[in-house]
Structure 1
Amino acid sequence: MSDTTPGTWLRRFHPAPDAPAELVCFPHAGGSAAYWFALSRLLTPTVEVAAVQYPGRQERHREEPLRDLHVLADRIAAALGPGGRRPRLLLGHSMGASLAYEVAVRLARTSGGAPAAVLVSGRPAPSRHRFGDDRPDDDRALLARMRALGGTGTALLDDPELLGLVLPVLRADHAALAAYRPTAAPPLDCPVVGLTGDRDSEATPDEVAAWGAHTTGPFALRTFPGGHFFLSDRFAEAAAEVSALVSGVSAARA
């Protein structure tokens, strides 16, 4: 199977090919496509969720994790291909928000491929990027940081056997984040929604609000109680935001 085959990269937990819209979801650093299962269940059958599975995790655990977000974005954009008959929205959390942006930039360069909307969660805007702030000094510091951030999957860090599978992915993702420099590109022309936790030290509401400068379309900021992984407890609200965007996009197309 090719490295840019959709089946390699996308997981559809609740297939809904007749849904009027598609939402492509990008996990956080160390995360997997499974993070988006609950959101997929909430949105089906109105929106079909396609969760991105990065190399090195779950059924792709034999593949080497990629240490370059630009290479990741290139391959994901190629796997997605040009837009189809229905609008495509992108949603990413933390590292996934940067990837959603990079993929949106790449898709916007293709005829008819630009996303209908982008939702970015828990990540500073490209103009507020914290250069080199994502790579702990060693494994001990990396694990301490992950425990401090919390979120789903933290318990895996206390299981020595599972840690052996997770640690290479965490190392690679944080190396990719430390080296990442956002693409200098014209603003997107679609609606963008920023999602943020009011106690998130990784991306403050002000840093997330700066995403508004990266689109010529409408921008909205939604602030929720919680830290970096606020979204894990707010999938219902995220589903409502997606549904509202789909309704707006559908009305505009009509």
Structure 2
Amino acid sequence: MTTTSDRTMPGGGSAWVLPAPGVAPAGRPLRPRLICFAYAGRGASVFQAWQGLLGDTADVCSVQLPAREERLHDAPVTEVAALRQELLPRLRPWLDGPFVLFGHCMGALLAADLAVALRADDGIEPDALILSGAAPPWQQESLGDDLGAMTDGEFIRGLRKAGALTARQIAEPAALALMLPAIRADYQLFESTRRQRPRPSVPPLRCPMSLFAGDADAAILPEQVRDWGALSAGRSELTVFAGDHFFLETAAELVAGRVGDEIRRVCR
């Protein structure tokens, strides 16, 4: 029996990894692969314009977690160890050539966690790790142990206070209600990542890192983002964009352009 998580999708992807239209199937890379991880509650559609923005620089593949978009009815994953177990076997076929991991906000925590897991389990690293709009887990404060017990109203108020909702999400409460299970699950994922990834005494990675921050992000300061450098003995560079926590979308062309610069730099 084929489950949702094992289903083959158009373009040779799975429910977990969605290649952009025209991207070469796993096993036949034509260009470096850019593996993208969206922020809490969102999915692969965040990156739907990126193949056009990057052109021939890279093949864009987006990770699609359960409980969102076309996986809306799939059970969410709330523990990072369980996510690794589910995602890594489906991600490995796409790591058959040069590859770069990119994540924003919650996606940055997942990209970093998987980079460390790939180094430990497979002896491989991304050609670059690009982390955006997030402080490392050892810099993060707990969101509380009662996330699962909060009412929707309490949870939404907490998200608004933290600056973790876009203006569009706030203006469209019906659409936000559909996204709440995914957002809640992602914040539980955040808590499990925070517990399992203390500040390393020895950098577990060697790959170069590009770090992105927003100059008006009320939740994450650029200096907090800079502390991701403790994760790798390689080069670490911080770029600060104009915008709040969601500069990934408001400055999409600039962000994608900087990502393209890094890919060309490391995948010559």
Shorter-chain TM range is 0.7 to 0.9
Label 1:119 to 1:135 Cα distance change in 2 as closer, same or farther (>3 A): farther
Which residue of 1 is the match for residue 232 of structure 2? 215
Q: Which residue number corresponds to residue 149 of structure 1?
A: 164
Matched residue of 2:240: which SS?
strand
Out of 14-23 and 213-222, give the one that drifted further. Answer: 14-23
Partner residue of 1:27? 38
Aligned to 1:169: 182
SS of residue paired to 2:49 = helix
Displacement of 1:100: 0.2
- For 1:119-138, list aligned pairs within 5 A: 119-132=130-143, 137-138=150-151
Within 2, Cα distance between the matches of 1:182 and 1:122?
A: 20
Q: Secondary structure at the match of 1:70?
A: helix
1:15 deviates by 2.6
1:11 equivalent in alignment to 2:18: yes
> Equivalent residue of 2:101, what SS?
strand
Gaps spanning 5+ residues in structure 2: where? Answer: 8-12
| Cα distance change of structure 1 residues 223 and 135 upon mapping to structure 2, 3 Å threshold | farther
Instruction: Give the alignment of 1:71-82 within 5 angstroms.
Output: 71-81=82-92
| Structure 2 letter corresponding to 1:14 | P
Count how many residue pairs are aligned between Structure 1 and Structure 2: 249
**Alignment root-mean-square deviation, CA:** 2.6
- Return the alpha-carbon distance in structure 1 between the equivalents of residues 171 and 86 of structure 2: 28
Aligned partner letter, 1:193: S
Ranges in structure 1 where 5+ consecutive residues have no aligned partner: none
Cα 1:248–1:214, aligned 2, differ >3 Å: closer, same or farther?
same
Q: Are the structure 2 counterparts of residues 230 and 141 from structure 1 closer, same or farther at C-alpha, using a change threshold of 3 Å?
A: farther
How far off its partner does 1:141 sit?
2.9
Is the Cα–Cα contact under 8 Å of residues 82 and 111 in structure 1 kept in the other structure?
no
Query: What is the TM-score with the length of structure 1 in the denominator?
Result: 0.86
Q: Give the deviation of 1:164 after TM superposition.
A: 4.4
Whole-Å separation in 2 of the counterparts to 1:103 and 1:90: 9
TM-score (norm 2): 0.82
Change (3 A) 1:202 1:75: farther
Q: Percent identity?
A: 30
